[in-house]
Amino acid sequence: MSIDLTGKTALVVDDYHSMRVTLKEHLQGFNIRVVEAENGLKGLEKIRAKKPDMVFTDIVMPVMDGLELCQEIKSDPELLNIPVVVLSTHADAAYILQAIHNGADDYLPKPIETGLLEKILSRITDG
Protein backbone atom coordinates (compact mmCIF):
# COMPACT_ATOMS: atom_id res chain seq x y z
CA MET A 1 0.00 0.00 0.00
CA SER A 2 1.42 3.33 -1.06
CA ILE A 3 1.62 6.21 1.41
CA ASP A 4 -0.05 9.53 0.56
CA LEU A 5 1.95 12.60 1.55
CA THR A 6 -0.39 15.26 0.16
CA GLY A 7 0.55 18.64 1.56
CA LYS A 8 4.24 17.76 1.99
CA THR A 9 6.99 19.52 0.05
CA ALA A 10 10.39 18.12 -0.89
CA LEU A 11 13.42 19.96 -2.16
CA VAL A 12 15.44 17.93 -4.67
CA VAL A 13 19.05 19.10 -5.05
CA ASP A 14 21.09 17.55 -7.87
CA ASP A 15 23.35 19.01 -10.53
CA TYR A 16 21.87 16.68 -13.17
CA HIS A 17 18.51 17.88 -14.49
CA SER A 18 17.56 14.34 -15.56
CA MET A 19 18.10 13.07 -12.00
CA ARG A 20 15.98 15.89 -10.56
CA VAL A 21 13.19 15.01 -13.00
CA THR A 22 13.40 11.29 -12.17
CA LEU A 23 13.27 11.85 -8.41
CA LYS A 24 10.52 14.47 -8.83
CA GLU A 25 8.40 11.92 -10.71
CA HIS A 26 8.97 9.32 -7.96
CA LEU A 27 8.06 11.80 -5.21
CA GLN A 28 4.98 13.06 -7.05
CA GLY A 29 3.77 9.45 -7.00
CA PHE A 30 3.35 9.97 -3.24
CA ASN A 31 1.59 13.33 -3.85
CA ILE A 32 4.60 15.33 -2.66
CA ARG A 33 5.10 18.81 -4.10
CA VAL A 34 8.67 19.17 -5.41
CA VAL A 35 10.98 22.19 -5.57
CA GLU A 36 14.33 21.83 -7.37
CA ALA A 37 17.84 23.25 -7.06
CA GLU A 38 20.96 22.45 -9.11
CA ASN A 39 23.55 22.76 -6.33
CA GLY A 40 23.81 22.93 -2.57
CA LEU A 41 24.14 26.71 -2.38
CA LYS A 42 20.95 27.30 -4.38
CA GLY A 43 19.34 24.52 -2.37
CA LEU A 44 20.24 26.22 0.91
CA GLU A 45 18.70 29.48 -0.33
CA LYS A 46 15.46 27.65 -1.19
CA ILE A 47 15.46 25.80 2.15
CA ARG A 48 15.77 29.07 4.06
CA ALA A 49 13.05 30.71 1.94
CA LYS A 50 10.54 27.84 1.66
CA LYS A 51 11.23 25.50 4.64
CA PRO A 52 10.42 22.23 2.83
CA ASP A 53 9.27 19.17 4.77
CA MET A 54 12.24 17.13 3.50
CA VAL A 55 15.41 17.47 1.42
CA PHE A 56 16.85 14.97 -1.04
CA THR A 57 20.37 15.89 -2.10
CA ASP A 58 23.04 14.40 -4.30
CA ILE A 59 26.42 14.11 -2.61
CA VAL A 60 28.78 15.07 -5.46
CA MET A 61 27.93 18.50 -6.92
CA PRO A 62 29.75 21.69 -7.86
CA VAL A 63 29.57 24.94 -5.82
CA MET A 64 28.40 23.24 -2.59
CA ASP A 65 28.17 19.46 -2.34
CA GLY A 66 25.50 17.48 -0.53
CA LEU A 67 27.67 16.84 2.53
CA GLU A 68 28.27 20.58 3.00
CA LEU A 69 24.57 21.25 2.45
CA CYS A 70 23.68 18.68 5.08
CA GLN A 71 26.09 20.30 7.56
CA GLU A 72 24.59 23.74 6.89
CA ILE A 73 21.04 22.47 7.44
CA LYS A 74 21.85 20.56 10.63
CA SER A 75 23.85 23.44 12.13
CA ASP A 76 20.98 25.93 11.72
CA PRO A 77 18.48 25.78 14.64
CA GLU A 78 15.65 26.86 12.32
CA LEU A 79 16.36 24.08 9.81
CA LEU A 80 17.85 21.18 11.76
CA ASN A 81 14.55 19.31 12.07
CA ILE A 82 14.16 19.05 8.29
CA PRO A 83 15.00 15.44 7.32
CA VAL A 84 17.82 15.15 4.80
CA VAL A 85 18.22 12.12 2.54
CA VAL A 86 21.46 11.93 0.57
CA LEU A 87 21.57 10.28 -2.84
CA SER A 88 24.55 8.98 -4.72
CA THR A 89 25.72 6.35 -7.14
CA HIS A 90 28.59 5.89 -4.65
CA ALA A 91 26.96 3.21 -2.51
CA ASP A 92 30.05 2.39 -0.48
CA ALA A 93 30.15 2.52 3.30
CA ALA A 94 32.57 5.47 3.49
CA TYR A 95 30.16 7.80 1.66
CA ILE A 96 27.21 6.62 3.73
CA LEU A 97 29.10 7.06 7.02
CA GLN A 98 30.35 10.49 6.02
CA ALA A 99 26.82 11.56 5.09
CA ILE A 100 25.42 10.33 8.42
CA HIS A 101 28.31 12.01 10.28
CA ASN A 102 27.30 15.25 8.52
CA GLY A 103 23.73 14.86 9.78
CA ALA A 104 21.94 12.96 6.99
CA ASP A 105 18.82 11.20 8.19
CA ASP A 106 18.91 8.52 5.49
CA TYR A 107 20.65 7.38 2.33
CA LEU A 108 19.07 6.49 -1.03
CA PRO A 109 21.30 4.89 -3.66
CA LYS A 110 20.93 5.71 -7.36
CA PRO A 111 19.23 4.43 -9.41
CA ILE A 112 16.15 5.03 -7.30
CA GLU A 113 13.97 2.10 -6.34
CA THR A 114 10.38 3.07 -5.52
CA GLY A 115 10.01 0.49 -2.73
CA LEU A 116 13.10 1.73 -0.90
CA LEU A 117 12.02 5.35 -1.41
CA GLU A 118 8.63 4.54 0.13
CA LYS A 119 10.31 2.98 3.19
CA ILE A 120 12.51 6.05 3.63
CA LEU A 121 9.52 8.39 3.24
CA SER A 122 7.66 6.40 5.91
CA ARG A 123 10.62 6.76 8.29
CA ILE A 124 11.24 10.47 7.77
CA THR A 125 7.58 11.58 7.72
CA ASP A 126 5.96 9.13 10.12
CA GLY A 127 3.79 8.29 7.11
Q: What is the pLDDT at residue 127?
A: 52
CB half-sphere exposure, 22, CA atoms < 13 A: 14
Question: In the prediction, which pLDDT does 1 show?
Answer: 47
Domain residue extents for the chain: 9-125
pLDDT digits (tens, 9 = 90+) for 45-55: 999 999 999 99
pLDDT tens digits for 54-106? 999 998 899 999 999 999 999 999 999 999 999 988 666 787 888 889 999 99
We find that the CATH architecture of domain 9-125 is: 3-Layer(aba) Sandwich (3.40)
The pLDDT, as a whole number, for residue 60 is: 87
Omega into 111 within 30° of 0, i.e. cis?
yes
| Whole-number Å distance between alpha carbons of 127 and 124 | 8
